[in-house]
Structures are given as structure tokens and as C-alpha cells.
Amino acid sequence: MSAALDAPERPAASEAFRAVSTARKVKNQLATVLVTLAFVIAVIPLVWLLVSVLIKGFPAIVSVDWWTKSLSGVTPDQARGGVYHAIVGTLVQALIAGIIAVPVGIFAAVYLVEYGRGRLARITSFMVDILSGVPSIVAALFIFALFISIGGLSQSGFLVGLALVLLMLPVVIRNTEEMLRLVPDELREASYALGIPKWKTILRIVLPTALSGTVTGVMLAFARVMGETAPVLVLVGYARAINFDPFEGNQASLPLLIYTELSTNPSAAGQLRIWGGALTLILIVMVFQLAASLISRYSAISK
């Protein structure tokens, strides 16, 4: 608009219309600069970090072995082998968490939105907030205390999955809840009017309507837990070979691989593996994030 307004044929403004004091103008400009600067300041570490990881990790991930082989039989200073075993572990542990956390989380969200009322609902909602703030190391310690100290089990990928459930739940619940609240009441009423009971209405009408948003939430929850390091430090040992069985023996995961190599392997091969692992982890997380945002873009209910 200013282009038209500042057209040269316009006469210059009179004093009255320029009367904003210099101090105010300067303050306003300063605020604009500072606020823009804040954004730039946040972008700097992001770009710096991503570029560092990309440059240092890229040489590692271009080899086919990286994606298809484990480190079994590879000595620490040898630049060969791959992280297949760690990818497997990461996915298996996240999957275990998802199998438990997704249904429980969705049902809990249904409870909060459709059934919950009174004190119990308020407490539940409050506890979801608390759970989303529980540090991953505390979740891991809890699982350790319950299953290893008291239950007498030994460390395993499955226990990691259980700890991840606690971290996944609030994300699934909050996202599902938000989507369920967006489902218009008219839909529910239309279904009730047809004589369909409430639970069937929820299962057949409400949840499918909210599906894409729910899936988005699940994807985000996966993205969150796959990068978690604290639970794997406490609950499972590192293995250099592939282990598909989460109930038995040590199982690697990308965070654990990075941590182990960082703390035990100062060789050049170790450095390469660390950064390659970081890049791989970021890529996997990004895939889930991207899936989440793609799904939410084609969401059935627009916000």
C-alpha cells in the first residue's frame, strides 16, 4: 500500500501528521530490530548444528554398508561396518512403546474429551501435564526400580520400550485430545439421532474424523522418543551386533551407539561413526516429523 501512498505527486505531509516523537519512533524501530534479531539468533545455532552434523556425518552415511551392516567383528579403529544394528534397536524399542502408548493414549484422550467430568477428569488432565514434564531419566529410573530392582528382570530393549511409553503417552493424548475437540458436535448429534449408542458413535464417527490429527500426534510422539538417550543408558546394554529380540540380551540403538562411541572410541573411525550416527538419527526423526506435517496438511478437520 505504501507504494501507492508514497507516490511522488502526493504533497508532503503537514507537521500534524508527522507528529510522532523521535523517541517513540526510535523505540519502535529498536523493538523491530530486537525482535527480528531474536529470530535470527535462534536460527544461527540450528543452522550451525545441522551443517556441522551434515558435513561431519555425511561421509559415513553414503556407504551402503552403513545402512546394511552392524559393527560385529569391526574393531573400534576400523572405518567399516554400519549402524544397521542400532537402527533396528531404535525402531524396535520405539515400536514397543507405540504398541502400548498409542491405544492407551487414544483411549485416554477419548475419556478426557467424551466421558471425563468432575474430579477424576481434572486430575487426569493435570497428570497428563505432569507426565509430559517428567524427565526421561526419571522415567527410566522408575522402570529400573520397578522391573529390575524389584522385579528382578535383567536389562533389555523391552524395558526401554516401557520407559518410552511414559514419554510417548502425553504427546499422543494431547494431540488426540485436541483433534477430538475439533470434531463438530453436530456430527455426534447426527449419530445419536440415528439411535447409534455413544461408544459406537465415538468409534465409528468421532475417531475416524479425528484420525489424521491423531496419526500426526503419533508420528510426533515417535519422533520424540526415538532420540531419547537416558532410558537406553539405564535400561539396556550396548551390543555391536544385530539383535532383533527386545526381550533378550543387549540391544543397540542410535543414541546408545553415539554415546558409546563418544565415550570409548577416540579414533577417527569412532568420530566418523558418532557424526554419522547423529545424522542418521536426525534423518529418521525428520522422516517421522515430515510424515506428521504431511498428514496434518491433509487433515480432515481444518483448524
Cα(267)–Cα(280) distance, integer angstroms? 20
Considering the complex, state which of residue 3 and residue 64 has its C-beta at the smaller distance from another protein. 3
Considering the complex, state which of residue 64 and residue 152 has its C-beta at the smaller distance from another protein. 152
User: What's the min distance (Å) between Cβ of 18 and another protein?
Assistant: 6
| Alpha-carbon dihedral angle through residues 27, 30, 35, 37, given to the nearest 10 degrees | -170
Considering the complex, state which of residue 64 and residue 193 has its C-beta at the smaller distance from another protein. 193
Q: Which residues contact 167 (CB under 8 A, 6 or more apart)?
A: 97, 134, 136, 139, 224, 225, 228, 231
Considering the complex, state which of residue 36 and residue 78 has its C-beta at the smaller distance from another protein. 36
User: What's the min distance (Å) between Cβ of 135 and another protein?
Assistant: 2
Q: How many CB atoms lie within 10 A of CB 107?
A: 12
User: What's the min distance (Å) between Cβ of 84 and another protein?
Assistant: 19
Cα(146)–Cα(125) distance, integer angstroms? 25
User: What's the min distance (Å) between Cβ of 166 and another protein?
Assistant: 6
Considering the complex, state which of residue 82 and residue 255 has its C-beta at the smaller distance from another protein. 255
In this structure, the chain runs to a length of 303
Cα(112)–Cα(103) distance, integer angstroms? 14
User: What's the min distance (Å) between Cβ of 42 and another protein?
Assistant: 6
